[in-house]
Amino acid sequence: MGLVDTYDAITSNRVYDKGRASMQALDVIHKHRGTQFDKELAEASFR
């Protein structure tokens, strides 16, 4: 759930910030695979 929540938080418009592009969210997830996110789930998000 954390991976999906992070993706949603990055790509959704907020009162204080515009949502970013999908690839930017995936870059953040990829950068933190194996630490903040399960490595296998994070890598599966790129397939």
B/e letters for 4-42, b = 16+ CB within 10 Å, e = fewer, are eebbeebeeeeeeeeeeeeeebbebbeeebeeebeeeeb
Query: pLDDT tens, position by position, for the chain (47 residues)?
Result: 889 999 999 999 999 999 999 999 999 999 999 999 999 988 887 76
- pTM greater than 0.85: no
Per domain, the residue ranges of the chain are 2-11+18-44
